[in-house]
């Protein structure tokens, strides 16, 4: 792997997560960007290197897809970072997950 920032080549790389996801509550649905630390929590601690290995070793990718399906329709508390940007004279809102925590129903019930 070649790094363009420090013009050096390396025998291997460290994979990191970056993907878009849909999150929703009772009122709306939003697209968010998910980065490495938050994705590892969402996917039960599975690293991007492990997911890459699952993706490349299994032709049907059932284990790979299974990790994402397990995270589907689960309850979390997200802290999001939202910013407004201009692109082609159009205002766009970008949302990324800053932190993620499992829902503590007992604590939430006391609030």
Q: What is the pLDDT of residues 7-31, one digit of tens each?
A: 888 888 889 999 999 999 999 999 9
Instruction: Report, as an integer, the average pLDDT of 32-60.
Output: 94
- pTM (predicted TM-score): 0.80
Contact 76, 64 (CB under 8 A): no
pLDDT at 80: 95
pLDDT at 91 over 90: yes
Element at 37 (helix H, strand E): helix 36-42
What is the distance between the alpha carbons of residues 65 and 63, in angstroms, rounded to a whole number? Answer: 6
pLDDT at site 8: 87
pLDDT mean over 96-111: 90
- Band of pLDDT at residue 42, cut at 50, 70 and 90: very high
| pLDDT at position 5 | 86
Decide: helix, strand or coil at residue 78. Answer: strand
């Amino acid at each position: 792997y070649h790094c363009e920032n420090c013009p050096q080549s390396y025998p291997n790389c460290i994979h990191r997560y970056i993907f878009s996801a849909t999150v929703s509550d009772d009122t709306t649905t939003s697209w968010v960007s998910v980065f490495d630390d938050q994705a590892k929590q969402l996917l039960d601690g599975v690293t991007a290197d492990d997911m890459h290995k699952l993706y490349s070793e299994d032709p049907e990718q059932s284990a790979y897809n299974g990790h994402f399906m397990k995270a589907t329709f689960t309850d979390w508390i997200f802290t999001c970072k939202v910013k407004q940007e201009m692109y082609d004279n159009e205002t766009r809102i970008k949302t990324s997950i800053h932190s993620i925590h499992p829902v503590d129903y007992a604590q939430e019930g006391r609030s």
